[in-house]
Structure 1
Amino acid sequence: MSKHLFTVTSLNTYVKSLLSNEPTLQNITLKGEVSNLRKYSNGQYYFTLKDDKSRIQAVMFSNAIYSLTFNLEDGQEIIVTGDVSLYAQAGTYQIIVTSAMQSGLGNKLLELEKLKKKLYGEGLFDEQRKKPLPQFPQVIALITGANSAAEKDLIENLTRRNPLIKILVFNALVQGEKAPEDLIRALNQSKTFKPDLLIIGRGGGSIEDLWAFNDEQLVREIAAYPYPVIAAIGHEIDFTLVDYVADARVSTPTGAAELAVIDKVEIQQHLMNREDSIRRSLTLLLQSHIEKLGNYAKRPALINPLLTYEKYEERLINLRSNLSNFYPRYLNEIEQNITVYGDKLPNLLNERLRNYSELLDKLNLGLRSLGPNKVLKRGYAYIQNEHGEVLTSVDQVNISDIVQIRLHDGKIIVSVKGKE
């Protein structure tokens, strides 16, 4: 017999703790068919998940039920995520479901994730490629469902915020298999009107309702759209690939209108503030000029201009008098200098010429004493070959060469008999 005696409650509590503390059994993904579904008024679902051989009890609480994107019914094949636990009172183990999706949708979500990674790798979701929204758009294009609540909200809020905005509406299917093609048609049609801004949107719905906005071709068309795009699809928790590729994303059509257009009240307030600022600046400028004019008015020239005129007239008369006295004296001094220097100038020139003549004679005498004839007269001579070249070395002649010996009064022609 076991040494430890359990009660039923303690055993169930112990087993529950084992299951709850086993990481492998937490946050698991489980696929099965829904059966025996019971929906209680307290916001809890109880049902059985089964396959062809086994079954397990399941429970969903209100927070998990709120996140469902489809209506849970018996017979549906679903994929759930949750934690394995034990309901201690009944001694039955179960899975506490935290999220659920339809089985077929699970495969679609896997494909969507692959597409998302592919487009992300191509840079379609990069912030650097996104276009800035215009501050004051004049023409806004809307792509949304015909006569939808989203269309009504967008038009009402855009018009309320700025009634001068021109709104172009391009209706298209926003869910179903043909929706992507119709949305692309509306995109191409809107481009021809060259809007300042495009808003593409619809109201909330299940993930299946919003699936058209995950279409690859639609995403690429929006990426290539030449004007800024705001995506307003679903609610805050809904994200599609169009949300990632758009230049801006908001959770509701109303939010799109608020992002796209500045409220006229804000513009009016801004203009009033600018008017007050300009008025204050002009007042200060006017006061400054008035003060300057007051200072100018205190100047003597403006207080009594005749007195100022007489003062400057007197100065002008004095200047004229000084000039009339100065120039005769100045001219007289110049004439006296010309007379004095005119008498001395011939003597100065003659003396200067005599000095230069004596210097020239001395230089000429020196040059003559250094001339070649003077040297030859002292008994010197120089020798030339038959070509008239002066010889300075015995190596320049050979035996029997004819050379000329130049003296101061002539030359002697000789033949070389030998060299030493």
Structure 2
Amino acid sequence: MKQLQEEQYPGIPVFTLSELNTAIKATLELAFPESVWVVAEISEIRCNSKGHGYLELVEREEEETIAQIRANIWAYTFRNLASKFEKATGETLKQGMKILLQVNVTFHEVYGLSLNIKDIDPTYSLGEMARKKREVIERLTKEGLINLNKQIPLPLVPQRIAVISSATAAGYGDFVDHIDDNPYGYKIFYTLYQSLMQGQEAEASIIAVLKQIRGHIKLYDAVVIIRGGGSQIDLSCFDTYSLAIEVAKFPLPVITGIGHERDDTVVDMVAHTKLKTPTAVAEFLILGMSSFEERLSDAQSTLVIRAKELLREEKHRLQYLMQQFRHIVKDRFNGEIKRIETASHRLIHGATQIIDGNNNKLKLDVNRLVGGLKIVFQEHKNKIKHFGQAIRLLDPINVLKRGYSITYLREKAIKDSSELQTGDIIRTKVYKGSVNSKVEAIDVEE
């Protein structure tokens, strides 16, 4: 290359690619002879089959990437650093996390520039996570959402519960065992809405489930969010603004049993009631029902005692009223008897006077009536006698005695000669006997 440089590019150094990369490597080794500490955000992280970790590190400024570089952690170091980080922060190394790393700046002639990670300071990440959490809490407080869900009254006996958890989580199993086998025999109806409870997709999964429950809001009294039974890692999803606001604005009381032992998550803070474990949530529901039953029992006892007192008071009052009533009725009855006796005497005396006064008048009227009836009876007697004489005179036997006769045609008396025809056989009745005749001629009088 030196000959090419002198002939065609005098005064300008010319390198092969390998020479250039070797020069860059040497320069970087001189510039960064020892490891340095770097603050960066994990844009991507993956682990290969051999256990080596590969990261993409970025620096952002107002959501814009202003720097980016590859980094790696060899398997043995990766295992140690990941374990130390999880124990210190309760979180795994993951995308979106801001970390402080101790790195060696390396340059490979084929693979280029990269950082070899030697150590990670978890205290920086803890501070960064705390800062983000604090910002979320301040924003929720400013928007008036921190205590919004707490203002929803929890039913006295919440028996219909929507449970957000993983079916395979030991915490969910503990919750179910305590609910179903409670010593009081209470019946609590619960429906599991399965969701991811840790990892990068947990936040979106829980939000989706909450929206699903909204569609069946009338079926439930409260919502329970529980996890547990595993490692206390990957809880950062419960510190996000998106999930916290969904819980805060939920139209039912939300009870949490996330199982974070060190401090409360943001979701715990905005929830109606926060408890440490799924078992504690189950006991809270059962004890609430037990407390309500005790209140009912106390109210029943108080009601029975008060009812007995009222019965005694009413019994005494009724006895007093009955005594008063007896006196009043007796006095009224005696007064009415006297009034009736007086009225009876007056009535009898007045009736006697009226009867005596009308007795003579009645006798005179009776005498007059008897006299009038005798006259009427005599007149009718005379009329009946006269009618009897007339009836005897008109008797057909007496008429026949005087020489008269009756002519019959077919046993029918003949009153007009026009009723006869020549040749008819007629019977003529006289006083003694009858005569049969044959009509020879007929004289008809006009």
TMscore range, shorter length? 0.3 to 0.5
TM score, norm. by length of structure 1:
0.47
Q: Which has the larger radius of gyration?
A: 2
Tell me the TM-score normalised to structure 2 length. Answer: 0.45
